[in-house]
């Protein structure tokens, strides 16, 4: 029997061929969605599930929060079509660029598309809508200072005038993106909001003549929490949906107003081997750690291929038996060594909590980010899609 078939057969009888993986709390996702919806008002919360739902699982996350969503936001056409293929009927907004060859599929799936082009792409979008005897629903983007995608504010009115002359386009929304809303003192956020409002106002007579009122949106998680004036017609919640905070300032300010998110993800494994390492002996690649005394080391079968940043080498920690056990030596592709000295009861087979809580000890995605010199967004989004995920609640 081929190895792949053998593995599938074994998994059906005994469970997945993994030692540990991710547990995602659907109850926590719904709690956060309800909290965020209450913050901005019913019908005004959109939820962002790009990047495999920030590592939490695209389809399962979208299904859990869709009943609470104004719409679901993704980055790519592939993500949007995967959700439609899974039976999701909620409005879906694609925030990123769409290849022209995918436009027929986008229109057939009744997706809403971001648009910042009056050239070839717009013409092909109109042709695709005409071919299907349908209309393409678009949200027109304004560049207010992030300087990535979007029309310049002075170009916005002309672009809207062009679009409104095309019966195949339905201008459903206008939007932008903020650059520094995570900061409590952010004059640039107010500058961007004012720039956006001026651009939209320049096109107001055109919208009134066409008898449409496009939805305005500019706020993501941090802005919606810290800057109520940015909420407009709806806010796009990404990182906060998953119980993580855009910044320390956002957390402190929100907690003061009773907003308490619940992390939805935990990451567990087991000790697969233990060994006694004598004083002075090196541990791991490059001998970057030498045992300061005789010590017991546990081997965890997860490494940087499994989403653990190599930067956690010799500085991070996991939890065993309710106790923090430091990472010793360099993290390898599929293995990490931890010092079991703080957990004398630990043995081969003992549970290891990589992210989550055990007893009074906890390790968070923010801890990983601090140890690795990055942000929690990167930590969870880079958890491989092939990691085993279990959904509870």
Residues with a catalytic annotation lie at 50, 285
What residues does 112 pair with on adjacent strands?
93, 137
Compute the C-alpha angle 236/199/91, nearest 5°: 30
H or E element that contains 73: strand 72-74
> Which tokens go with 78?
């592939």
Taking the C-alpha atoms of residue 90 and residue 43, their distance in angstroms, rounded to an integer, is: 13
Helix axes 26-40, 58-65, angle to 10 degrees: 50
> What SS3 state is found at 352?
strand
Taking the C-alpha atoms of residue 168 and residue 161, their distance in angstroms, rounded to an integer, is: 14
Decide if 201 contacts 167 (C-beta within 8 A): no
For residue 281, what are the CA distances in angstroms to 272, 295, 338, 347? 21, 10, 15, 21
Taking the C-alpha atoms of residue 183 and residue 338, their distance in angstroms, rounded to an integer, is: 36
Q: Which residue carries 């651009």 as its tokens?
A: 199
Taking the C-alpha atoms of residue 26 and residue 243, their distance in angstroms, rounded to an integer, is: 11
CB contact set of 240 (below 8 Å; sequence gap of 6+): 32, 36, 221, 224, 225, 246, 261
CB atoms within 10 A of CB 86: 12
Taking the C-alpha atoms of residue 221 and residue 244, their distance in angstroms, rounded to an integer, is: 10
Taking the C-alpha atoms of residue 326 and residue 317, their distance in angstroms, rounded to an integer, is: 4
Residue 316 main-chain phi, psi, to 5 deg: -90, -175
């Amino acid at each position: 029997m081929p190895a792949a078939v053998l593995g599938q057969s074994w998994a059906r009888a005994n469970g997945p061929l993994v030692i540990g993986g991710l547990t995602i709390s659907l109850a926590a996702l719904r709690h956060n969605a309800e909290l965020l919806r209450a913050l901005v008002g019913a019908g005004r919360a959109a939820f962002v599930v790009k990047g495999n739902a920030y590592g939490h699982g695209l389809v399962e996350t979208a299904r859990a929060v869709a009943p609470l969503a104004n719409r679901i936001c993704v980055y790519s056409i592939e993500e949007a079509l995967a959700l439609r293929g899974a039976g999701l009927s909620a409005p879906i907004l694609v925030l990123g660029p769409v290849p022209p060859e995918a436009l027929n599929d986008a229109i057939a799936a009744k997706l809403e598309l971001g648009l910042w082009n009056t050239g070839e792409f717009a013409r092909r979008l109109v042709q695709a809508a005409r071919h299907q005897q349908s209309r393409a629903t678009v949200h027109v983007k304004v560049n207010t200072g992030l300087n990535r995608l979007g029309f310049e504010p002075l170009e916005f009115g002309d672009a809207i005038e062009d679009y409104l002359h095309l019966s195949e386009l339905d201008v459903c929304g206008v939007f932008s993106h903020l650059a520094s809303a995570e900061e409590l003192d952010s004059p640039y956020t107010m500058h961007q909001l004012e720039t956006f409002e001026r651009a939209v106002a320049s096109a107001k007579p055109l919208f009134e003549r066409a008898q449409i009122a496009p939805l305005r949106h500019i706020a993501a998680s941090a802005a919606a929490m810290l800057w109520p004036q940015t909420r407009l017609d709806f806010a796009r919640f990404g990182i906060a949906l998953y119980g993580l905070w855009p910044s320390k300032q956002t957390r402190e300010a929100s907690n003061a107003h009773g907003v308490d998110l619940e992390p939805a993800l935990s990451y567990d494994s087991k000790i697969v081997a233990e060994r006694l390492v004598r004083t002075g002996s090196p541990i791991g690649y490059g001998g970057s750690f030498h045992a300061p005394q005789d010590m017991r080391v546990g081997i965890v079968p997860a490494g940087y291929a499994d989403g653990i940043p190599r930067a956690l080498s010799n500085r991070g920690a996991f939890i065993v038996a309710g106790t923090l056990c430091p990472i010793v030596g360099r993290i390898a592709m599929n293995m990490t060594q931890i010092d079991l000295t703080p957990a004398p009861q630990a043995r081969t087979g003992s549970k290891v909590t990589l992210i989550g809580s055990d007893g009074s000890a906890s390790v968070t995605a923010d801890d990983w980010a601090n140890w690795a010199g990055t942000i929690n967004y990167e930590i969870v989004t880079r958890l491989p899609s092939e990691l085993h995920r279990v959904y509870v609640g």
